[in-house]
Structure formats: C-alpha cells, structure tokens
Structure 1
Amino acid sequence: MPRTYAAPLAVAIAAALALPAHAQDSSPAANPTNLDTVLVTGTVARDRTVLESTVPVDVLTAEDIRKAGVLNGELGSALQALLPSFNFPRQSNSGGADHIRAAQLRGLSPNQVLVLVNGKRRHTSALVNTDSKIGKGNTPVDFNAIPVSAIKRIEVLRDGAGAQYGSDALAGVINVILEDAPEGGAVEVSYGLHHTDVEPIGQTITDGQTGFFSGKVGTALGDGGFLRVGVEYKERNGTNRAGFDQIPFFEEQTPDNLALAGKRNYYLGDGDSKDINGWFNSELPISDSASLYAFGTFHQSKTQGANYFRYPDSVSTWREIYPNGYRPVSLGENQDTALVAGVRGQWGEWDYDGSLNYGRNDFTYRLRNSLNASLGPSSPTQFRVGDYEFQQALFNFDISRVFGDHTFATGVEFRREDYQTGAGDPASYATGPFIDRPTGSQAGGGLTPQDTADLDRDVASVYASLSSRFGEKFYTDISARYEHYSDFGGELTGKLAARYEFAPAFALRGSVSNNFRAPSLSQIGFESTSTGYDASGQLTQGRLLSVNNPIARALGATDLDPEKSINLSLGFTSRIGEHFDLSFDVFRIDIDDRIAITERITGDALTEFVLDNFGVPGVQSAGFFINAADTRTEGGELVANWRQGLGNGQLLLTGTWSYAKTELKNVTATPQALLDIDPSYVLFGVEESNTLTDAAPRTRAVFSANWGNDNWSLLGRVSRHGSAKRVFNFGGGFEPEQTYGAEWQLDAEVEYRFSERWSLALGGLNLTDEYPDLSNQDIYYFGNLPYDVLSPIGSNGAYYYTRVRYSF
C-alpha cells in the first residue's frame, strides 16, 4: 500500500536532522538561494539583489529545480512545486491540453505571462487549447520543452512588466537562465512510478512508469568563452483513474451496450509520452571588449490523449469495425525549436547587446482507433486531423550605461509572427453517403481547406528604462515603451516602481504600471472541430470558428480588441541578520477586454440556421473568441526563509503563501443576432465565467525543510492546494456545479553523496496518496470520470522515484 512507503522516508528525514554537530556548509543543499544574488530581471541596475528589488522576484537555483523531483524532467511541474502562485494542472479528455499543458501565474491566463530564456522572448506553442478548463482558448508557452538540465537559475518577476519587456507580461515574467560553466558536466538517470489506491474502483494500481536520462558537458572556448551542451530523454507510461461505467441514459439501452456496464471503458489520466530535448549555450570572445554568443533548445515529443468511449450500438460506430465499441486516442507530434545568436560588448562607457532570435513550434494532431461514421464500414480508423505552425523572429538592440547612481537603458525590437494551419486528411472531414451518421473523424473532425489559416504581423517597439539609487535607502525603476502592431496600431505603456528602507532591515516597495496584450494570431485565425455536450448531456461534434468566419459573424462575432491592464502592487520586505528574511506583497490587476471563448451555442435552432444560411449541414455546436469581460484580480503573496546551522549541516526552512481572486466586471452582452436565432442563447455565461474566476484554486501554500551537509541532502515539503469550483452549462437551465475542497500534499527526498562525483536519491511525491474530492453524480459522467482536473494535486496518486547522478 502507498502509505507504507511514507513512514521510512519520514524516519530518514528525522534521523538525519538529529545527526551530531560537525559544521559543514560546502554541499549544494547547504547553500540555498543567496539573497545577495544580483538580479537580471525586473531592473536595468547592475547591483540589485533579491530583497533590494522594487518588485517581487523569486530566484530558483538549478539545485532547487533538480530536487523538486516532479515526474522526472517536467519543468512546469517543478515550478508548481516551488512557486505557490504558479499553477500547472494535469489535463485529461481535454483535447490539445492533453498534449501541451498550460501554466498560470497569479490566477491569470497562461498567455498573460511572458517567458524569457537568457532574457530573450520565448515563442508560444501553435496549438490552441480549446477543450481544457484551465487555459482554455490559450496557446501557452510549452514549459516542458525547456530542458531542466540546462537551467542555471530561474528568476520569476511577479508584477506587470510590459514597459520593460513588451506585450504579454500582464501577470509577470519568467526568465530562464541557462548554464554557462566552461567545464565539467553531469549524467543523471531516474526512474519512478505511481503506486496508489484508486477509491472509485477499489483497487491498488501501479502505473505511470517514467524513465528519464540527462547528460551535459562544458568546455572552454578561447580566453573566457565557453560551450555548454546537453541532451535529455524521457519515456512515460500512461495512468488511468476512470471509474466503472454506468452507461449514459441517452445511449441505446441494448443488450450489447448494457453488457459494458461495470467495466472501465473510459480513460482518465496521463497518456503515454516520449520526449527528446537538446540544448546548448555558448560565448566566444572576439576582442577585449566584445563577445559572440549563441544558445538554443530543441524539443520533440510524441504524446497520447484521452477521448470519450463510443458504444457498440451507436450512430457514431459501425459494428463491422468495432463490434464492442471503441475509444478514440488522440496523438500529438510536437516539435519545438529556439535559436538565439548575438554580439555584446562595450563602446566606451556604453554596454550594447544585439541579437537575432528565432522560435518555431510545429504540431501535428492525429487520431487512431477512430472512424468517420458517415463513410460507412469502409471508413479508415486513423486520421491526420490538422497541422499547426507558429514562427517568431526577432531583432533586438539594447544599450545601457551607468551614470553614478543611475543606470539608463534603451533599445529597439522588431518582431515578426507567422501562424499557419494545414488541412487534415480528406477522410477526416468528409461527408459520406450515410447522411444519418455524424460526419468527420470521431473525437475531432479534421480541418477542412476552408478552415485553414495563414496569418502574419509585424511588431516594432522602442523602450527606455532608468534605475536609480538615492543614497542607501531609496531605489526607483522607471520604464516606458511604445509598441506598434501592424494589425492593432500602437500602445504606450509605462511603469514606476520604488523601494524605501524606512528602518534597518525593513523596507516598503510598490509599483504601478499599465500593460498591453494583443490577441494572438491563433486566437484570430484558429478553427477546429471537437467533442462537447449538448443540453441533454450527449456528446456532440462542435466547431470553434475564427472571428473572421462568416458563420461566426452571423452569430455575433466581431474583431477582437487587445487586452489592457492596470497593475498596482505594494509590499514589505525584511531581513534580520543572516537567519531570517520575509517579503509580503499585495496586488491588484484590472484587465479590460479579457479574451475568452463563448459558451457552447447548441441545439436545433443553430443547426437549422447554419444549414439554411450557409449550406453547411450537421453543425451541432459552435463557439468563437470574444472580448468577454473586464476583470479585477486581487491577491497577496508571502515568502519567508529561515537559515540555521543544525547538527553537522545547514537547515533551510521556507514558507510561501499566495492568494488571487478574480471577479468579472462589465460582461459583454449577448448580441441581438444570436438572440434572434434562439432567445435562450447566452454568449458568455456561467460556464466560461467560471473558467476565468473560480476554476483555479485561489490559495496555495508550501512549507519546505531542506537540510544538507557534505554527504546527505534531505528534503521535506508540505503543500496545501486551495479549493476550486467547476460549473457546467448543459443548456435548458441545467447548470451543475461542485466546489472541490482544499488538499494537502506531502513530498520528501533523501539523497546521499558517495563521493564528489556519485549520488543516489530516493523520494516520493504525494506520499499520503491524496486525491481531489470525488465528483458528484451530475459531473462524474455516469461514473466514468470520478475526478476533475482542476486541483493541482492531480488524480494520479502517490509517486515514488529514485535518481542516480554522476558529476565530473
């Protein structure tokens, strides 16, 4: 049983903390994040440290990330374990989100956080998450495409930063800084699995076996240069927490269908996946005052996603192909490439940095174990549903100079974005001769040639920043940026931040800024066909239409406006001696014209309207992007650390807490064009309002204890994931909802270093095998999906792992 594994790990931690005193401080675990680390994110000053920052910035070291121990190589999961304001839920039966997971910062949308690598803008993914709950309608940055073994540290700026870094930085900035050591390396191998009690089926299951390998090495280049390269490989088996099928009442109650009652026909959990990551980071001096630099990452993955079961006596199947019913499997082929090259140096008193930055994501969406029922018993069972491609190319040139206690920086950026989609196999969208059967491949019809998009735009910006020190107590950061989009015009953003040390070791800090985010090209041009619910709870094929689609226009779609925010922040920091430090910040983020997807517009009235006016048959459900509402997000974040020599090592205690509450203001009204089709239609209602407000936990807290010396490194971490709320709108006034309570999670790891080169670790996540609350009977889909995907604790249960590391 899983709980039997927790006791030995807890005993090991307790025993190690009681070891006799022999002062040591040379091990990695004994040197936690240094508050005197000079920041490169959030300021142009060259000597600001963590507690001297005018805005909240978290610094995570490579050791922090490596020891997060989260599913072997998942950067997003590691950040969730370490940052309470970062949410990275595991999706299932959620379309594209089964393949590329979206992350949130401060409870806002995934595309409202800007990701940098070595200070350079990271591109987003190409696939829009249309069927997920968290991150619905977003094309997020794929955090798991960034190799964890490449990371030197991560700086997380929790504040609006559009004037400093450009659009998208409404919630904050995550800057991933790559390793730059000119020598040495490491090889790491880990293996883990889930071993858990699954309450809905009364069984103990072992699954999710995950193997991970990483290797990296560095060498010197010239006088002071370096080349650092690495590679990673991960293979993960799927997990399944589906319950026993009770057979939906709206399915044919035939003997063959009813014979499947009590079986696990559905799939709830992670799909099988294989990932390859590669990376490099380099610098080569070309003179006494200039260096060339280049870095890049490569990611390739093949993933599987879950879809709903089709019963043997159903219009969506043919007994000649699937006599016992079938469950389609989605297949994702994801390739992600990023490359940056530039030159930096000094011209007299000025520092300069010029670079070219290219990023690209290609995603091919496929289905197997499916069919197009309208084609009859000869239908193929495998389909290519569509191809998605996003490219981003940038040129940056920045200069900066120190004038006494002031640092001035200015620069320009030119960015080109291209977004394309490609049609699926003809059989994936064909309308066959069997007109009484649904058309298109089951679990997502293919993109038709008419659905495809080919969009591009140019973005140019110029900025200026001034960081100042007035004596030893008062610091300021002032920034302004003008950014011009070829499709949305220009926008001026600005930011003022200040810090005042009003007493020794105590300081106040605060900021005010306005920020800007243009709709992504994918939100403008993306179209897809997927599976959803109608008013009676039955599965229907629905279409997400681009705002330029004539059908969407007839339903009330209009051109999208950019999102604009006003960010306010006020905080307090304290550092008492060498042992204790604390920061507490409160914030308010007002965002106008939040972009979201409409409610599902379903029913016979829609089907008839589209057929009569556009000649398109079988449109059972439709949606499109809109500027849904203005929102206000308010919250607070607390970070506290205690450092103390203990026994023969060093102890670090860390406590963090975050709270973020989002409320809707000025919700867009249902257009008359839609009401004329059916007066009961609602453009933006309870279900999609829930997506923006209550679906993500408002609170999260983490307490961790980390102790280490030359040989031992011990970690214990307790996390509390707050409650979350799910609301469905099935139509006809049926709007079931459920609030899922807070959950506690215990993680622990013991690592022993046999020598300077070799170490062995044993650890576990969610050692007490906790799960979210079981969904109620209105939501659990007839017993098949007993757990929701909202809680960050996930529904995989306890996970145990071991890790071997060789350093040289």
Structure 2
Amino acid sequence: MIKNLLKISLPLFFLIISAQLFAQGVKGKVTDSAGVAIPGASVLVVGQKVGTSTDGAGQYSLKLSAAGTYKVRVSFTGFITLEQDIAVDNSVKTLDFSLLETKSNLGDVVVIGSRSTPRTNIESVVPVDLITTKDVKAFAQTDLTQILNFVAPSFSSNRQTVSDGTDHIDPASLRGLGPDQVLVLVNGKRRHTTALVNINGTFGRGSVGTDLNSIPVSAIERIEVLRDGAAAQYGSDAIAGVINIVLKKATPYSFSTSFGQSSSSALGRDFSDGRTFQADFSKGWAFKNDKGFINFAAQYLQRDYTNRGGLDTRPLLYSANPTKGATETEAAYQARFANIKAADNARAAANGLDRNNMRVGNSDSKNGGGFLNGQFNFGKTTQLYYAAGFTHKTGSAAGFYRLPTQTTQVDLSIYPNGFLPFIDTKINDYSFSAGLRGKVGTWDYDLSNTSGENTIKFNIDNTVNASLPTGTSPTSFYAGELLFRQNTTNLDLSKKHTFDGGFLTSLNTAFGGEFRIDNYQIKEGELLSYSNGGRLIGTSPTASGSQVFPGFKPSNAIDKSRNNVGAYADLEAEFGPRVTLGAAGRYENFSDFGSNFSYKFTGKVKLFGDISLRGAYATGFRAPSLHQQYFNNESTQFVAGNATQVLTVNNSNPIVGQFGVGTLKPEISKSGSLGLAGRIAKTFTFTIDAYNIDISDRIVFSSQYARERTSAGALIPTGVVNQILNTVDPSAQVNSVQFFTNAITTNTAGIDVVLTNKFSLGAKSSLILSAAGNVNKTVVRSIQGSDKIESDATLKAKLFDRLERSRFESSVPKNKLNITATYNVDKLSFVARTVRFGEVTYLNAIDPNVAANGLPTQLDQTFSPKWVSDFSVSYQANKMWSVTVGANNIFDVYPDKLYIDPRNNENNLSGVTGSTYSGSLDNTSNGRFLYPRAVSQFGFSGRYVYGKIACTF
C-alpha cells in the first residue's frame, strides 16, 4: 500500500514544485452575496488545462505559463456561474468573485423529481434533500450508507452482524420502507440491485436492495434524495422515493487519506478494534474549447472487525447436561453436576476455549474500486456521455460458534473444542452507461444504455461437513455464487414551450420509453459443500454440507431472465410566477407477471415571498424481484438457540403449492404528500413535508413453518407441515420451511422537517446551523394468506408472526433528529453534529403474555432513544493541504442492553434439570448478544476516533 501511495504522491510533488517556476498568474477570493467565503468553489481558465478550487477561506491562486488575456470561470453548486476576462503580465493579478445564489441561500439545485428546468430544493414541487461533497467529507464515515444514515433523517441503514451475506451488504430504508422500495440512480440512470436477497433475521428480511457502498465516495459530486413516490416517473421500486447520485465532472486533483479505530469502553472493558484505513483520489480534466470533460475517481477502504459479544451462559461446554437419576435427590444431583461443571471449566481453561466465543460486530472488509465519468461535446447541442465503474470487495464474517456438545454439527477429531465458522465473500460490481443527448428540431432527446452486474461468491472457512466420515472433512469449501445482471435502454424526449401573456406561461412536455432485461443466477458449490456423507451419531443423522452456510446444490442452481417494456408521459405547466402543476403516467409490461399503470399529480403554489405550498398524489408499484421469485436453498439457522435446518423454496416449488400460495404479484402503492418550503430573511430556509403511503399485496418472507412435535419431541404424523415436508425429506432432517408471498397491507405516515440558517460573522468567519428531523410510523393493517392458510388457524398464525411484524413496524427508529453546526474562522473549521435516534422495538415470535414452563418471561423489548454526537476540527494549512481530527460517537453511546433473564446464568444450576426453566427464552442467544441485532438503531461499536489528511490543487 505504501509503495502505491508513493507512486501517486511523487508525481504530484514534482507537479507542485514545477508550478512554482511560473511567475505570472491570478489569485483572489470567492464569496457569496453576503460576503461569506465559499470553500470548494471551482476556478478554471477556459480553454486551458488550468484549474483549482478555493480553500477554507475562499482563497484561490492560479499559475499561468505565459502572459496574455484569459477567461476565468468560477462555479459552485447552487450559485450562478461567473466568467470574467483578465489580462495577465509577468506578475500575479488579483481577481475576486462574488457569486449570486440561485434564488435561495441554500442554492441546492436538483434535477431529480422533475423533467423541467432544474430548481433549488426549496423550489422543487416535491421534497428533495441535497447532500453535497462537503457534507459527505465532513465526518469520518467512509462508506455511503453510513454517511447517509447520519446526514439524512428519513434514511436508515446499519451494518448487520451474524447474518450471512447481509453482513457484507447493508440494507437501507427510506421513510421507514424496505430496501427494495427505493430506486437508486447514477447520473439519472437506473442502478442495478445486488445479487443478495436478505433471508436472515435482520431488518429488510426477504428484500433485495442496492449496494450503495459499491460507489466510491470520492466519485460523488452530490446526492439528491427524492422523498416522494415516483414510480410514474421512473418506474418500478420508487415507492418510497429515489436516490440520485451525481458523479464529479471537471474537478482539481484531490487526494485524501484517513485512519481511525474504535476507542471505546463498554461492560467494564476497553475496546481498540475496527481499525479503518481509507485512501481516495479524484481528478477531472476539462477539454479545450469546452469540448467536454473526463473525471476519474478511486477509493480503497480497509476495515477490521469489531466484537461486542458477551459470555456464553450455557453451563457445560464439552458435554450435555447429565440426566437426573430416578432415585437421585436434588441435592445429590446438584453436587454431581457441580463436579462435572468444575471439570468442564478446567478443560475449557486448559484448551483455551473462551466463553466469549462469538464475533458480534462489524465484519472484516476490504473495498477497492473506481469510477470514470465523462462527456464529449459535438458542437453546442450534442453530447456523448458515459460512466463506468468497478468495485471489488472482500469480507469475512463469523457465524454461531459450534460447541463440542453439538455433536451432529462438529467433528471432534478435527475441532475438539468446537469451532467458529466464517463466511468469506468476494463481491464484484460492474456498471457501464453511455448515451447521446442533443436536439432534434425544437425537441431535446436523450438515448442511453445502462448495464450493471453484481456477483457474490461464498467461501466457507474454519468449518466442517459433519456428515463426512470422521476426520475426512475439509475445513474450507466453495459454497457457490449469486449473480444479478441488468441492462436498461432509455429514450427520453422533452420540450419546454413558453407563452407570452395569457393564463399559461410555460409547458414542459416529456415522454419516452424503456426496455429492461434482468437476469438472476444461482451457481452450485463444490460437492462436499452440500452433500451428506451418511455419518451417524448413535442413531442421529449429522448435518449435511459446510456448517454455517451449506453450499448451493445442483437442484438450487437457476438461470432466469425476464424483460419489461415501459412508456411514460410527463407534463409540467407554470401558470404565472406562482402556480406550477404537473402530471405523469407510466405503463410497464413485464414478461413474467403482466402489466401495470401508475400515475402522479403534483402542484405548487407560491403563497407569499419565497414561501410555497406543495403537494403530490401518486400511485406506484414494485415488481417482485427475480430473487424473490426464484431464490432457494437450505441453510443452518439458530432459532431460540437451537441449530435448525431451514428449507427456503421458491414459488414454482410444489411445496409452496401445497400451502395454496401462487406466483408473486407486484406491490401496489398509493401515496400523498403536502408541505411548505421557502426562505425567510435571505438566510433562513425551511421545508416541512408530511406524507402518507398505503401499500397492498406487500411481499414478505414467511415465518418458518416448523415440524409439529409433541411435548416429548416426537413428530406428529398428522401435522399439516409434517406431511408437506415429508414429501421432500422423509428423514426429517429439514426442520422447517419458508417462502415468499404477497401477504400484508401496510400504512406508513410521517413528516420531514429541514431548517437551515447561515450567519456571516465577519470577513473571515461564518456559522451555519441546520436541524433536520423525521417522524415515521408503519402499521400492518391486514394479513392475508391463501385460502388454505386462512382456513387453518395454525398455518395462519405462522405465516406472519409477531417477530416478522416488528421488522416492518418497529425495527427502524420511529423518529430521528439531526442538529449540525459548522463554524469557519480563518483557516479553521469546526463541525459539531448530534443525532437523536428514536426508539425501536423487538417483538419475539413467542407472545410474552404466554407463560413459558410455568414462569413469566420478558421476550419483547423497547430500546430507548439515544443521542449520538460527532465532532471534528479541520485546519487549512495552505491552499492545498488540510488536516482533520475528530471523533464519531464522541461520548461512547451504546444502545440499551438486551434483557438477560437472571436465571440464564452459567453459574446458576437451579434449572439444569430442565424442569423449571429452559435457559434460552431471552433474546441474547445464551448471553452472547449484548445489544440488539434484529432491530436497527445506530450500531454498537462505540466511539471512533480518526485523523485525515487531504490535498487539493
């Protein structure tokens, strides 16, 4: 890594030295209309490969190779671009610029949400957040989902733990909805989703999202978050809204590197883990004579794992609890058990088996990638544009520890102390987009093609196939691969008509079409990763395949494709300077389930001054993903602390037919929003938007239908689930089955508020204060199964249990508040931010009102709101170099701890007979999880301290 950095740094150093040889040039300061310095403004010499950006005090300087007359162009997002000629002789001239805001002090120009003229975010007809490069770089979060989680109140995402592939791809939520109900665009073009469907016990279970972290942060100019239903404008998935990532264009050289780690104290222990190293680079080159630009950006990110696991509370680690003799007294049994436990503990100590035997926290991760963005201008009206990206990410995440007592899952000749298995992933993400836009007569056209691919290879390490003959199992396996590929072709036409006088002053007309092809594949793993070698423990069969993640079988392998054709029309009219109305309609036809028509109406009325009332009503849809239609596998999951073989079947499997469930249908939505937005006294801006979203036929991943057994553990032959599972596994090794189905109707309602004020405190200092909040509530209004499920109370109860309900209603914060202050004084910049994450609630599948073994249990838990505060200080040493130090979660805040039943204690022997308490009826999995993982608040790694060095020239 150091060698590579030197390769980059040395050429930059010589460029800097050589620049000092020129005596002539231009320098100055860039400010806004209030005289406040604008850091990061772009300053270019038109027609020359000379450019820079302003420093923290708004200062810039350019070295020129020869005397002459030059045209200097200054631009910054949200401000009117200025150009000015200057004659330069053999000296350095001074040229200051004062940029005018585009009608709003925020100046946040956005293109998403409307196909008419780009507007500022307070003038848009629907709510749009704009997150600039400065927002992205202000703190230590290095990947995009974590940045958005702390910047955008309506966005929620946290890293998951002990959840297979989901450990490596963060599920995200907008407005409390699922990861697959927000559409992601890059430069306005549809971004492909991942190959992963989340099937474990996390937020977003059963959904397929987009891996935002596959886009290098260094490549991003700004992020536009449309918080409004937009399926009628952009197509399937845009129920919650749209995230549009705009890539950098002609920018100066930019290089930064940072290092940090957790420095935390929890549970009386000091943690120094999660070391993170990041390096990024970007540079954009403007072609001569305004012929276009090309920008290249790259990023490398290495993150070590964190571990906040607790101690395993099971009394015995090496052997099962002894059976109490028929004539043995309780006292004698307890004394005998105490001796066995003492010997067990001594053996564990001698062999180095620690009761802190899990890895509960962030996975290991290495992520490197780059993005190319460019445009070539043919004349004044025609442009060829393109963007290409590639990311390679590797990760390693742990599963559940297999104790020596779990004899059907271990091979004691290989791992006498048991083992902690790992899921290692290799994720590749490719994307390419190219298009031609220009004019045909008076119409603007945009013809483009966008393709993308995401692949995930699973390698399982430090594990065994316990079914193989003793001592013969490998300890690592290739378990197979998931692949998703998408290709989208678009043709968009638009024209803006203006009218002199009269009631209608302008009309923007847009229409177009789209053709998309999706392809989803599951590739089988190696034979031993899924096979059963027939080894028995007594009369008990051993588990097939690699422990923690059995490989995909040949019967799981699929290669499925579909296509869809769409057409849309979009009208937006202005009636004088105060009224704007819009309407859009979109028809799409899918080859696998049919067609859908969505529509949307928008309106904005300027009430007085710069304050407007805006609103929208829209219908929308989300097509079931190919993943949801065809994913199938067999996995080992831990349910109530017990290893369970779970069969996931797709909707073409006869098993699903026996439940009466048919093919998947699209989710259908109806949404409305109403808000106020504007500016007061030139410096204070606000947006307040309320919304309501109804979704029917929402696709869920069913609860697990487990085999029916008697209280003694014997199978019930007449059980409905038993009869169904016996058709595929008469040996009863498969314990339960689950599948996808359109089962629920939900309502989501909330309000978003964004307030910002900017203060000029002098020629060299300024203060920006902002507050942004979201209040959100989702309610499951109805649950509807097939006729067969509805007619059987047991099947109905298991279709969508309390736990699954909580994933939709209470697993992300019900409210979030972000307060940020940025103070700039001369060369120093201080940024303080505090975010209040609202409460989340976990509901256990078991109703806590029902007694367990005659004793009450506390299975449900609400986790209280928490404030998480970040602070950083930056010093701009000179125009080129800056240094930043800071801390995220500076006060080392953690979520509430999981409730641990005091009876579930490895030193408490009162329940070892099993006659009073099972010891596994809390949510900690025998004490190993101290903080919640099934609900998503803000993570549990604690304080993170970091330093960063950046160079721009």
* 1:69 matched residue in structure 2: 140
Kindly indicate whether the alpha-carbon contact (under 8 Å) linking 1:670 and 1:684 is maintained by their aligned counterparts in 2.
Answer: no
Say whether 1:781 aligns with 2:925: yes
Which of residues 553, 568, 593 in structure 2 aligns to 1:463? 568
Q: Which residue of 1 aligns with 2:394?
A: 302
Match of 1:235 among 302, 307, 319: 302
Q: Distance in 1 between matches of 2:516 and 2:795?
A: 44
Letter in 1 for 2:593: F
Number of the residue aligned with 1:207: 273
Q: Note the alpha carbon deviations across 1:224-277, whole angstroms, 9 max, x for none.
A: 211101211111111000011112789723758655586210110011111111
8 Å contact 2:747–2:780 — kept in the other structure? yes
Q: Partners of 1:593 and 1:670 in 2: how far apart? A: 12
Contact 1:723 1:791 in 2 (8 A): no
Deviations 1:357-378 (A, max 9, x none): 0000011112101111111321
Instruction: State whether structure 2 residue 283 is matched by structure 1 residue 217.
Output: yes
> 2:750 pairs with 616, 624, 635, which one?
635
Q: Is structure 2 residue 126 aligned with structure 1 residue 55? A: yes
The answer for the alignment partner of 1:145 in structure 2 is 214
Does structure 2 retain, via aligned residues, the 8 Å contact 1:601–1:681?
A: no
Partner SS, residue 763 of structure 1: strand
Counterpart residue number, 1:386? 480
Structure 1 position 263 matched with structure 2 position 355: yes
Question: Match for residue 612 of structure 1?
Answer: 726
- What does residue 759 of structure 1 align with? 882
Aligned equivalents of 1:642, 1:687: Cα separation in 2: 43
**Corresponding residue SS for 1:375:** coil
Cross-structure match for 1:161? 230
> Which residue number corresponds to residue 431 of structure 2?
338
Q: Deviations over 1:103-129 (max 9, x none)?
A: 100000000000000000000000111
Structure 1: distance between partners of 2:721 and 2:550? 17
The corresponding residue for 1:25 is 37
TM-score by length of 2: 0.79
In the aligned structure 2, how far is the partner of 1:623 from the partner of 1:602? 9
Offset from partner CA, 1:143-184 (integer Å, 9 cap, x none): 100110011111110000011111100000000000011x52
Match of 1:96, SS state, is helix
2:940 to 778, 789, 795: 795
The structure 2 residue matched to 1:103, chosen from 151, 167, 172, is 172
The CA distance in 1 between the partners of 2:450 and 2:784, in whole Å, is 38
Pairing 1:715–2:847 present: no
Equivalent residue runs for 1:407-446 within 5 Å = 407-435=508-536, 436-446=541-551
Q: State how far apart, in whole Å, the 2-side matches of 1:38 and 1:187 are.
A: 26
Instruction: Decide whether the 8 Å contact of 1:25 with 1:710 is kept in 2.
Output: no
| Match among 448, 451, 460 for residue 358 of structure 1 | 451
- Asked whether the equivalents of residues 399 and 410 of structure 1 are also in contact (C-alpha less than 8 Å), the reply is yes
Give yes or no for contact 1:91–1:132 (8 Å, CA) kept in 2.
no
Distance change >3 Å, CA 568–CA 607, structure 1 → 2: closer
Moved more, 734-743 or 36-45: 734-743
TM-score with structure 1 setting the length: 0.93
CA distance in 1, matches of 2:374, 2:802: 51
TM-superposed CA distance for 1:287, in Å, is 3.1
Q: Is the 8 A contact 1:239 1:269 kept in 2?
A: yes
Residues 644, 735 of structure 2: 8 Å contact kept? yes
Between 116-125 and 644-653, the greater mean CA deviation after superposition: 644-653
Would the aligned equivalents of 1:302 and 1:332 in 2 still touch at CA under 8 Å?
yes
Task: Say if 2:206 is the partner of 1:91.
Answer: no
Residue range with higher mean Cα deviation, 58-67 or 680-689: 680-689
Residues 157 and 677 (structure 1), Cα distance of their counterparts in 2 relative to 1, 3 Å cut:
closer
Aligned to 1:123: 192
Aligned match of 1:656 in 766, 772, 793?
772
Q: Residues of 2 paired with 1:369 and 1:64: CA distance? A: 41
Amino acid at match of 1:25: A
Aligned 8 A contact 1:700 1:719 in 2: yes
C-alpha spacing 1:773/1:328, structure 2 compared with 1 (3 Å) = same
Q: Is the 8 A contact 1:27 1:709 kept in 2?
A: no
What is the Cα deviation at residue 473 of structure 1?
1.0
Residue 491 of structure 2 corresponds to which residue in structure 1? 397
Aligned residues of 1:192 and 1:211 also touching (Cα < 8 A) = yes
| Helix, strand or coil at the partner of 1:640 | strand
Q: Does the CA-based 8 Å contact 1:444-1:541 persist in structure 2?
A: no
Q: Deviations over 1:17-57 (max 9, x none)?
A: xxxxx975132468897533432100111142211111100
Residues 479, 495 of structure 1: 8 Å contact kept: yes
Distance 1:128 1:803 in 2: 35
Distance 2:305 2:574 in 1: 54
Q: Distance in 2 between matches of 1:671 and 1:104?
A: 32
Superposed displacement of residue 574, structure 1: 2.8
Deviates more, 1:241-250 or 1:216-225: 241-250
Structure 1 residue aligned with 2:738: 623
Equivalent residue of 1:288, what SS?
coil
Distance 1:368 1:403, change over 3 A: same
Q: Distance in 1 between matches of 2:512 and 2:428?
A: 31
> Please, which of 685, 688, 691 is the counterpart of residue 584 of structure 1?
688
Cα separation, 2, equivalents of 1:593 and 1:75: 31
Selected match of 2:553 from 448, 452, 469: 448
Moved more, 447-456 or 149-158: 447-456
Matched with 1:750 is 873
Q: Is the contact made by 2:123 and 2:678 (CA closer than 8 Å) also made in structure 1?
A: no
Query: Aligned-pair RMSD on alpha carbons?
Result: 2.2
- 1:764 counterpart letter in structure 2: A
1:545-624 counterparts in 2 under 5 A? 545-603=649-707, 604=715, 608-610=722-724, 612-615=726-729, 617=731, 618-624=733-739
Q: 1:606 to 1:66 in 2, by over 3 A?
A: farther
The alignment partner of 1:553 has SS state of helix
Work out the CA distance in 2 between the residues paired with 1:394 and 1:45: 23
Cα distance in structure 1, aligned partners of 2:192 and 2:759: 41
Partner amino acid, structure 1, of 2:659? L
Deviation for aligned residue 1:537? 3.8
- 8 Å CA contact retained: 2:684, 2:755: yes
Corresponding residue SS for 2:489: strand
Which sections of structure 2, spanning at least 5 residues, go unmatched? 1-33, 41-55, 58-75, 79-104, 322-339, 499-505, 708-714, 853-857, 901-921
1:740 to 863, 866, 875: 863
Distance in 2 (CA, whole Å) between partners of 1:66 and 1:626 is 41
1: CA distance, partners of 2:633 / 2:705: 15
CA-CA distance at 1:607 after TM superposition:
7.8
Contact 1:257 1:311 in 2 (8 A): no
Gaps of 5+ in 1: 1-21
The residue number in structure 1 matching 2:813 is 697
Q: Is contact 1:27–1:708 with CA below 8 Å preserved after alignment? A: no
Report deviation, 1:613.
2.0
Contact 1:95–1:132 at 8 Å: present in 2 too?
no
- Please state how far the C-alpha of 1:730 moved relative to its aligned partner: 5.5
User: 1 CA distance for matches of 2:938 and 2:811?
Assistant: 14
- 1:714 partner SS: strand
Counterpart in 2 of 1:136? 205
Output the CA distance in 2 between the equivalents of 1:609 and 1:382. 35
Higher relative contact order (CA 8 A, sep 6+): 1
In the superposition, relative to structure 1, how do residues 555 and 374 fare at CA in structure 2: closer, same or farther (>3 Å)?
farther
Decide whether aligned partners of structure 1 residues 540 and 403 sit closer, same or farther in structure 2, where only a CA change above 3 A counts: same
CA distance in structure 2 between the aligned counterparts of 1:608 and 1:173, rounded to whole angstroms: 44
Contact 1:98 1:306 in 2 (8 A): no
Give the aligned partner of residue 280 of structure 1: 372
Q: CA–CA distance in 2 between the matches of 1:489 and 1:557?
A: 18
Distance 2:725 2:678 in 1: 66
Structure 2 residue 339 is the aligned partner of structure 1 residue 247? no
Give the secondary structure class of the aligned counterpart of 2:893: coil
SS of match in other structure, 1:543: strand
